[in-house]
Structure 1
Amino acid sequence: MAKLVLAIDDDKYVHHIIEESLAGFCKIIHAKDGDEGLRLTNKYNPDIILLDIEMPGMSGYDVCKTIKQSESTQDIPVMFLSSKIELSDRVKGYSVGASDYITKPFNAEELIARIKVLYEYRQQCAKLKLDIAKANKTAEIAMTESGDMGRIMRYVGQSYHANNFQSLSEHFFAFFAPLNLDVVVVFWYQGTGVFYSQQSGVCPLEQELLEQHRQAQRFVDIGSSTIINYPKVSLLIKNMPVDNDALYGRYKDLSPHILEVTNEKVITMERSESSYEQAAQISTALQDIVKQLTTQNIEQNKSTKVFIEQLHELDCAIKLQQTQANPADLTLYISQLDQTMQLFVSANSDLAFIKYQLKQVAESRNELISNLRTKAEAAKVNTNHHSDIELF
């Protein structure tokens, strides 16, 4: 958990609230303004910084921007504390490098939960930095492909064989690595966002921005960042070269090719998952029908045994009637036989229902087989198509 939290705010009451909220949870140091906050940041290198926006002298935005410009402090997650609730304020906070944003007033539980997330985020960032060598090696391999089209076709082939989001995201990032773009991708899978980042963890504010802009237009520019949306995938380019018209145009033209392929891959994965679920449902339905048939067979055998016994009793009663002067009363025997016949009728009705269930399962099975054949044919066509492509 977070070892050291720096709170920068000009309001003594806010410092008191933070102290009470985090007592026993972590160590806290306090700064009354931006200048003191920067000095303590450089001195103690805290795990997390809580930063007010409106302060005398340097604003919170200026302080955050200064922290992110320094190589020694740029990895420290910054959470803005503000009474401003507009999305534009959150966007501005993200633009200067904040990782999260919490509105005043806040309670202790919410603050602790946010700090836990940010601390895990920083730990994840530190771990991912250890993998930079691997990423660089992948980038070197990708750079051997001449031109964007060769790398696009390489990604098409790689994405086709990816069977989970982890491997898909690795191929995705390998495409962007030679472009020196720091990107975050989210796969919108079955209504849930699955987030991955190229060079660091995905901070809460990045997740929030991607979720809030999911239904926005195809391209959304936020300061020096750009979000590109497709139905099943969204891309956040954190360092879009907005001041370089040539590069900016190239990347905006290039990204949709990759996102279209990725979008179709996510759709295919959802359909495959649907097929697996359908197969599981068929198996469950068959197991249920087998149980019903077993139970029905037991009941049918019981009814048959009773029917045979009752017929024997009726036969005996009829023979007895023929040997005696007083006729025997056959009403009881006939009533019992009638009840047994009703059981047979009910059993036939149950068997008809089971037959209907088997018909439904057979139709589902045929639909599943048809879907699997369609996918297999598409895979064959896809494989043959790519086998004719020469990657330059």
Structure 2
Amino acid sequence: MEKLVLTIDDDKLTHLIIEESLAGFCKLLHAKEGEEGLRLINEHKPDIILLDIEMPGKSGYQVCQEIKQNADTKDIPVMFLSSKEALIDRVKGYSVGASDYIMKPFNAQELMARIKILYAYRQQCVKLESDINKANKTAAMAMTESGDMGRIMRYVGQSYHANSLQTLSEFFLGFFTPLNLDVVVVFWYQHQSEFYSLQGGVCPLVQELLAQHKDAQRFVDIGESTIINYPKLSLLVKNMPVDDSEKYGRYKDLFPHILEVTNEKVVTMERNEKNYQQAEQISTALEDIISQFNAQNITQSTVAEQFCTQLEALNTAIELQKNNLNPADIDSCISQLEHTMQLLVSANSDLAFIKYQFEQVTQSRSEFLQSLRHKVEDIEQANNQDPDIELF
């Protein structure tokens, strides 16, 4: 790119000398006094400014001060052109922000050499400023990310101790409070939907919106709102900063971390709830079986006693009336025995049903124990993993 040099001087001869000295080396602009020079500076943003000190109107010192006080022009190198050779004049030139000072009269080679040095200096300053801005931006991002990850780890600790959706939602929504985001979360828990927000209630329209997009893609942008979907929860951010690409990108990188953690927590809560339900079912079944056993034991004991009594009565009748047996009496005894036998058969059938119930309870107990073993294995596996958790 061709260098652009602006000369501000009230001496026509100086302009002519500079024009001849720098012909073909750079592009030149000329101003005869300070105000015109400032206007050209703001308009063209030259790479280098050659500035006379003594001029009508504003002096070179004043013009240089204004250049350095303007944020848009303060980095442009200024070289003073002056016939003053006293040290105090040079010091004053540096004090107002000049980068170089050349004495009049000057030759073309000296002027060209100094401009080359100033141009290289300008390029180095531009690159250094760019590097500093990048470094500051990187540092700011690192600090932001460090703060974000610290808050995520704090939330992980909080969610670990949450044993209900209400408590979990309080920790979850609290994560977004410092970000000044209006959010709604819905937990898809045991085939039901539980809605929570910082405002407490969730209007039907928002509930319908989340339900309709439950099975949509991971990120759904709707105007200034964004829905983030996971199997066990969905997050609606009503005021997502879609116009701020840097912040928007940061949030889209950040939020999946906390949603991934929360999704696993809800899965664990559902598994624990299922285990509790199985345990309650087993306890209820055992209590019912014990009650049936007690009742059946009483019934069977009564029937057995009746059967023994009837057998004894039949045996006595036969012994007493061996020679004079009455067929009707024998038929009556046999009928009673058959009835008692039916009762015993019924009692045995009840015992078989109780045995079947015991088998079902045993199977449920085995499933429950297996589920607990899987839970312990998952915890052990998580503890044995590398501490740097990769969430997605």
Calculate the TM-score normalised by the size of structure 2.
0.57
In structure 2, runs of 5+ residues without a counterpart are 1-142
Q: Distance in 1 between matches of 2:200 and 2:304?
A: 73
Q: Distance in 2 between matches of 1:154 and 1:342?
A: 70
Structure of greater relative contact order (alpha carbons < 8 Å, 6+ residues apart) = 1
Q: Summarize deviations over 1:244-272 as a string: whole Å, max 9, x none.
A: 11111111122112111111111111111
Q: Distance in 2 between matches of 1:186 and 1:297?
A: 52
1:327 aligns to what SS in structure 2?
Answer: coil
Is residue 2:257 matched to residue 1:261?
no
Between the two proteins, the alignment pairs up a number of residues equal to 245
Say whether the 8 Å CA contact 1:218–1:228 is kept in structure 2.
yes
Q: What residue number does 1:359 align with?
A: 359
Q: Distance in 2 between matches of 1:280 and 1:272?
A: 12
Q: What residue number does 1:162 align with?
A: 162
Give, in angstroms, the shift of residue 241 of structure 1: 0.6
Give, in angstroms, the shift of residue 313 of structure 1: 1.0
Bigger Rg over Cα: 2
Q: Distance in 2 between matches of 1:192 and 1:342?
A: 50
What percentage of residue pairs aligned between the two structures are identical? Answer: 65
- 1:366-381 equivalence runs, <5 A: 366-381=366-381
RMSD: 2.5
Amino acid at match of 2:340: T
Q: Distance in 1 between matches of 2:317 and 2:326?
A: 7
Is residue 2:342 matched to residue 1:342?
yes
Give, in angstroms, the shift of residue 185 of structure 1: 0.9
Say whether the 8 Å CA contact 1:227–1:235 is kept in structure 2.
yes
Amino acid at match of 2:341: M
Is residue 2:183 matched to residue 1:187?
no
Q: Summarize deviations over 1:147-170 as a string: whole Å, max 9, x none.
A: 333332332222222111222122
1:303 aligns to what SS in structure 2?
Answer: helix
Q: What residue number does 1:79 align with?
A: none
In structure 1, runs of 5+ residues without a counterpart are 1-142
Q: What residue number does 1:249 align with?
A: 249
Q: Distance in 2 between matches of 1:199 and 1:250?
A: 25
Calculate the TM-score normalised by the size of structure 1.
0.57
Q: Distance in 2 between matches of 1:285 and 1:201?
A: 40
Give, in angstroms, the shift of residue 233 of structure 1: 0.4
Q: What residue number does 1:240 align with?
A: 240
Are residues 369 and 162 of structure 1, via their aligned partners in 2, closer, same or farther at CA, if it must alter by over 3 Å? same
Give, in angstroms, the shift of residue 384 of structure 1: 6.9
Q: Summarize deviations over 1:346-390 as a string: whole Å, max 9, x none.
A: 21121111111111101111211221233234345546769x679
Q: Distance in 1 between matches of 2:248 and 2:334?
A: 93
Q: Distance in 2 between matches of 1:302 and 1:199?
A: 67
1:209 aligns to what SS in structure 2?
Answer: helix
Q: Distance in 2 between matches of 1:340 and 1:332?
A: 12
1:146 aligns to what SS in structure 2?
Answer: helix
Give, in angstroms, the shift of residue 298 of structure 1: 1.9
1:289 aligns to what SS in structure 2?
Answer: helix
Give, in angstroms, the shift of residue 240 of structure 1: 0.5
Q: What residue number does 1:305 align with?
A: 305
Say whether the 8 Å CA contact 1:317–1:328 is kept in structure 2.
no
Q: What residue number does 1:327 align with?
A: 325
Q: Distance in 1 between matches of 2:199 and 2:321?
A: 99
Q: Distance in 2 between matches of 1:383 and 1:175?
A: 25
